[in-house]
Amino acid sequence: MDALITTLLIVALFALLGSGVWIGLALSGVAWIGMELFASRPAGDAMAVTIWGTSSSWTLTALPLFVWMGEILFRTRLSDDMFRGLAPWLERVPGRLLHTNIIGCTIFAAVSGSSAATCATIGKMTLPELKRRGYPEAITIGTLAGAGTLGLLIPPSIIMIVYGVSANVSIAQLFIGGVIPGVMLATLFSGYIVVWALLHPAAIPAATERTTFTQKLYASRHLISVMLLIGLVLGSIYVGVATATEAAAFGVVGSLAISATQGSLSWSTFRDSLMGATRLYCMIALILAGAAFLTLAMGYIGLPRHLAEWIGGLGLSPFALVLALMVFYIILGCFLDGISMVVLTMGVILPTVEAVGIDLLWFGIFVVLVVEMAQITPPVGFNLFVLQGMTNRQITWIARQALPMFFLMIAAVLLIWYFPQLVTYLPRQMKLG
């Protein structure tokens, strides 16, 4: 009977999605069908209470603020400043300016929260410049596709806020927990560039200029504003001065200050950034509301409990369960965006994860990593769409160039499994403080 109900709801979900209905409305529709057919509680009452409770969550306030911060910075010359500040330091590193993709995405991720925004912003800066200097297009686009996903892992992260609300996990601890894995993944990406450059020395253009140490330090002045903003947002959380929501408000004020200082703040850019953030947040909020109603409906039907019992009956070890979930999310990522993946599955997956004793904070970082993989897997890889629009290349070609980054993300998952302190160390220090 459970299999029949599950099959019916899955068919209904894909039928609604395939018909072009918005994801949030499709989730609500499937939940309505499930409540009407298989639960005793009135569907209308359940939907009203659940959607209001989800939408009015104070924790969720951080999400539109971080989205707005990213939209403001997207309209400044921050990306150009980062390139001018980083380039002199990379003259003697194997791969040279290819590393601007990785470092630029790492820095911008710490003030953005969006994978697509990080990829687009840094790509606008690095792709034309690297092409002009003669760097191979394949490695340039491949590393940018992978590094753009750091916008999800390095805090502040939109997907972490969504997971924290869905799983009732501290968003501040998730943010701090993502710092070391984010830096680790960026290091893996840069390490790949070093190895590739050493194996293909003729493909990297020779350095055209040499700068002294003093000149490097002087060029670094372009990084001051972004580093101050990162310190304001993450530092206020880590030292306990602000919650994630308050830090998001600090970030908005800091972004407006940077925009004003650079002379890019006008009524037009202010309005465009506010409207861009509003549109994106409304889409996310509708998905969250629909997913919350679907989670409630599945709870009444009993599907999460039965699924957890079934998986528990398989006798999977925690490691085998993590591997199975990684494959599951990679496949799911071929059809859904990251936010939909998280909110659609948490109600079913979390009871099973808790049953085998996996820390929900650690699991949140794991989920972000596998959602990152989905950003560069066709046909629904958001970073692939972004890069296709910027380069006019086929998605399949871009996905092939990003494949090494995909395998490095798998390596990152294995590293945090065998060394969970990579995730839990900093949050524990924050809790002790």
Residue 61's Cβ-side half-sphere holds a number of Cα atoms within 13 Å equal to 12
Average confidence score pLDDT of the chain? 82
Tokens, residue 200: 């293909």
95 Rama sector, left if φ>0, alpha if ψ -120 to 50, beta otherwise: left
Interacting residues of 397 by C-beta distance below 8 A, sequence separation 6+? none
Specify whether the CB–CB gap between 233 and 250 falls below 8 A. yes
Interacting residues of 433 by C-beta distance below 8 A, sequence separation 6+? 239, 240
Specify whether the CB–CB gap between 101 and 140 falls below 8 A. yes
Residue 245's Cβ-side half-sphere holds a number of Cα atoms within 13 Å equal to 8
**Run of H or E including 126:** helix 115-132
If you average pLDDT over residues 343-372, what whole number do you get? 87
Largest interatomic CA distance in the chain = 75
Tokens, residue 210: 């040499």
**Rounded Cα distance, 109 and 126, in Å:** 15
Percent of the chain exceeding pLDDT 70 equals 92
Please identify which residue in the block is written with the tokens 């200050």.
Answer: 257
Interacting residues of 279 by C-beta distance below 8 A, sequence separation 6+? none
Residue 193 reports pLDDT greater than 90: yes
Q: Which of 129-133, 228-232, 361-365, 382-386 has the highest mean pLDDT?
A: 361-365
Which residue, among 335, 347, 308, 416, has the nearest Cα to 165 in the 3D structure?
A: 347
Residue 12 reports pLDDT greater than 90: no
Q: Quickly state the pLDDT bin for 34 (edges 50, 70, 90).
A: confident
Residue 167 reports pLDDT greater than 60: yes
H helices of 200-266, where?
213-219, 224-238, 244-262
Which residue, among 166, 177, 78, has the nearest Cα to 118 in the 3D structure?
A: 78
Extents of the domains making up the chain: 57-265+302-432
pLDDT value for 404: 94
pLDDT tens track for 291-320: 778 777 777 776 656 665 666 667 788 899
| 299 or 366, higher pLDDT | 366
Tokens, residue 110: 């710490």
Please identify which residue in the block is written with the tokens 């996905």.
Answer: 399
If you average pLDDT over residues 170-179, what whole number do you get? 90
**Run of H or E including 381:** none
Stated pTM of the model: 0.77
